[in-house]
Amino acid sequence: MALWLMPMLLLTLSVVAASNTNKVYQPCADARIQRSDGFTFGIAFSSKDSFFYNNSLQLSPCDRRLSLSSSNAQLALFRPKVDEISLLTINTSSFFPDTFGGYMVAFAGRKYAARSPLAFVANNTYVVTSFTLVLEFQKGRLQNLYWKRDGCSSCKGKSNFVCLNKQDCAIKTASCKGRGGGSVDCSLGIQLAFSGTDKHLSVLNSWYEVENLRQYSLYGLYSNLRDSLTSQYNKFF
C-alpha cells in the first residue's frame, strides 16, 4: 500500500527487538500487537483545515479523501515498543512546524483507523514543544489516540512560558534557534503512554507510570536526550 505523504523527517526509533511479532511496518495498515512488539504510527503536520473532509469531518490522514499528499503536509513515522515509556523527538532545526500549517495529528490503521484530535504546535508567535500522546489498545488493536494535557502545570511560575487555552505550555517562536536570533532548541518532545490490553488481554500500563512520574521532571529520565531540550529552559530564562 503506497503511502501518499512524502516521508519527511527522521525515521526514528527502529526498535526491532528479538521479541517483536508485529510484521506491520506501515502506519496505514492494521496491526494487532502484544506487549514488547514494535508498533508503527505516524504524525502528520499540516494546516487545521487539511485534516477535515468537507470542512466538517476529521478523517484519518490515511484517508485519501483528505488529499494531504497534494497539500503542504509532512509526515513523521515512529515505531516505539509497546508498553515502554518512550520520548519521541522531532528536531526542528530544519523543520519548522508553522511553515507546514502548524497543527499535528497522530494516526495509525486503515480498516481500524484511529487518529488523534488536532494539536496546535506552532505559528509565528508561539510554539508548543512538549506533548503526551496516549495510545489506547483493546485486545491488541489500536482504538484511540489522544493528547493528554496537564493544564499547564509543568510551566506554572516560569515566566517565559505562556499557557495557551489553559492546556499547552508555549514559548515564543522568536526565542527559537534559527528563528529571529533566539537561542532555544525548540525541538518537539512527545512522551508516549500505552493503555488498554494487548491481544492476549495483558494489561498495558505504561500509562500509570507516566501519571506517577508527571510530578517529577519526566524529561530528566532521558539521559540520552540532549540537555538542550530540558535544562535549556532554566538556563536561558
Residues near ligand NAG (CB under 6 A): 54, 56, 89, 91, 93, 120, 123-126, 164, 185, 187, 226, 228-229
Of 3 and 118, the one with the shorter C-beta distance to ligand NAG is: 118
Q: Distance between CA 116 and CA 118 in Å, rounded?
A: 6
Q: What grid cell was written down for 9?
A: 523527517
Provide the minimum distance between the beta carbon of 216 and ligand NAG in the complex, in angstroms, as a whole number. Answer: 20
Q: Distance between CA 83 and CA 195 in Å, rounded?
A: 8
Q: In 3D, which of 204, 206, 210, 207 has the Cα closest to residue 35?
A: 204
Provide the minimum distance between the beta carbon of 66 and ligand NAG in the complex, in angstroms, as a whole number. Answer: 13
Provide the minimum distance between the beta carbon of 23 and ligand NAG in the complex, in angstroms, as a whole number. Answer: 30
Q: What grid cell was written down for 141?
A: 488493536
Q: Say how many Å lie between the first and final Cα of the chain, rounded.
A: 47
The strand pairing partners of 43, in sequence order, are 76, 106
- Helix (H) / strand (E) element for 232: namely helix 232-236
Of 45 and 126, the one with the shorter C-beta distance to ligand NAG is: 126
Of 70 and 165, the one with the shorter C-beta distance to ligand NAG is: 165
Of 124 and 143, the one with the shorter C-beta distance to ligand NAG is: 124
188-203: b (≥16 Cβ within 10 Å) or e: bbbbbbbbbbbbeeee
Of 24 and 88, the one with the shorter C-beta distance to ligand NAG is: 88
Of 120 and 147, the one with the shorter C-beta distance to ligand NAG is: 120
Provide the minimum distance between the beta carbon of 87 and ligand NAG in the complex, in angstroms, as a whole number. Answer: 11
CA angle 78, 39, 36 (to 5 degrees): 125
The strand pairing partners of 75, in sequence order, are 7, 44
Dihedral of CA 112/117/118/119: which sign? negative
Provide the minimum distance between the beta carbon of 6 and ligand NAG in the complex, in angstroms, as a whole number. Answer: 20
Provide the minimum distance between the beta carbon of 228 and ligand NAG in the complex, in angstroms, as a whole number. Answer: 5
CA 99 to chain centre: 18
